[in-house]
Amino acid sequence: MNSSEERNLTSAHYWLAVKAIPRLASHKKIALVEKYGLTALFSSTTELTQSGLTSPQRLAISSPDWEFFSQIISDSHLCQSQILPFDDPAYPQLLKEIYDPPIVLFVRGNIDLLSLPKMAIVGSRNATVSGREIAHKLAGQLTEKFVVTSGMALGIDAQAHLGALHKQGYTIAVVATGLDLTYPARHKELQKNIIANNGLIISEFAPGVAPKQGHFPKRNRLISGLSLGVVVVEASLKSGSLISARCALEQGREVFAVPSSIYNAQAKGCHWLIKQGAKLVEDTADIVEEFEDIVKDSLNLNRNKEKDNSTEKSNKQDLCNDPMLASVGYEITPVDLVVSRSKLPIDVVLTRLTVLELRGLVSAVPGGYLKLNRG
């Protein structure tokens, strides 16, 4: 590395180089930084020969690919995200306490949310209509005290984010791809709304990294690691949400589970968690009471209190009187039937149905849309 390259290196370059050390656990990487110092580590090759590191690990330290790391930083800027290294003051303290914290976080949106108390809501991708309704309602209520955290997956995760947005609360989506991608692709609108409403998208994967099966358990540990607790709304016995619950237990977080019918296969994971000692949740008071010392004073996270009540009431009435909403029934209503009833072009119908879903007034279900009864 020549002197001009050295002058252009930032803290992000060095932390990306630490992240790139192969087959070495995060806590061991952090220990190396603490022992040698962040920049000095990459000029300590003589001492490192006695450190017990493998040849590939020593090579990664002695010859970092600075050009590659510069490209990651450039790509992050292009997708309007920033890199949050482990030593950044904004890096969440709770995440530092887990066994394998990410060396860097890629973040897009309101990083101030990282310093506020968070509660995770997770559950099945194949959620029932009832499960979606519960997740939506719980998330909206929890925004009074917490930032709602989830994984932007289909089903319960999406409803957790939507429920927080519906009540003008804050939400964080932890994703398993680079921040220049959206997975699943159908959640592009949801992702835009999270950012537009002062929310935050987080990943430990660099831009350009596509979703892989092994990424999702890693994402799940961040969802729980960021949060004070994890609420499981619906989960089968083989659900990835149980991985989140297990991560939460290993990280010393509280685990909550919402019960359902004994005939609901999507609830068997929740019932198993309750048998193992997870707290049964019937309403948000069951969650909040576990954190009275932390949230004894309202955090005023619910931003709709800042709005003029008469304006909000008028907007709500306008939405509820929307003729499009009148075209959707409390039973599953196919899109073509909505088009027929509303007498509007299908592109207009789909756009307005998306708006109604974001407002929590309808839900997309297999076969069409369903009107929801929001309190």
pLDDT in tens, 61-94: 999 999 999 999 999 999 999 999 999 999 999 9
User: Cα–Cα–Cα angle for 205, 95, 170, nearest 5°?
Assistant: 80
Q: Residue 47 has what pLDDT?
A: 74
For 126, 157, 260, the CA distances from 241, given in Å and listed in that order, are 12, 10, 16
Q: Residue 328 has what pLDDT?
A: 84
Cα separation, 180 vs 312, whole angstroms: 34
274 φ/ψ sector (left φ>0, alpha ψ -120 to 50, else beta): alpha
Specify the amino acid at residue 156: I
- Rounded CA Rg of the chain: 23
Q: CA nearest 169: which of 160, 177, 180, 178? A: 160
Q: Tell me the whole-structure pTM to 2 decimals.
A: 0.80
User: Cα–Cα–Cα angle for 56, 46, 65, nearest 5°?
Assistant: 45
Q: Which domains does the chain have, with CATH numbers?
A: 3-78 (no CATH), 108-304 (3.40.50.450), 308-371 (1.10.10)
Q: Residue 81 has what pLDDT?
A: 97
Structure tokens, 285: 């008071």
Q: Residue 158 has what pLDDT?
A: 96
Look-up: residue for tokens 């949060």? Answer: 227
Q: H or E element: which one contains 33?
A: helix 26-36
Q: Residue 2 has what pLDDT?
A: 45
State whether residue 286 is helix, strand or coil.
helix
| Pair 304, 162: CB distance under 8 Å | no
Cα separation, 165 vs 220, whole angstroms: 21
Structure tokens, 118: 């968070």
Structure tokens, 293: 């010392």
With a cut of 50, which residues of the chain have pLDDT below it?
1-4, 298, 304-319, 375
Structure tokens, 90: 């904004």
Cα separation, 369 vs 348, whole angstroms: 15
- The number of C-alpha atoms within 13 Å of 369 and in the hemisphere containing its C-beta is 26
| Pair 41, 33: CB distance under 8 Å | yes
Q: pLDDT tens for residues 305-350? A: 444 444 444 444 444 556 678 888 777 888 888 888 888 888 788 8
Q: Residue 121 has what pLDDT?
A: 98
| Strand stretches in 62-209, DSSP E | 82-85, 104-109, 118-122, 147-150, 171-174, 200-203
Cα separation, 253 vs 234, whole angstroms: 19
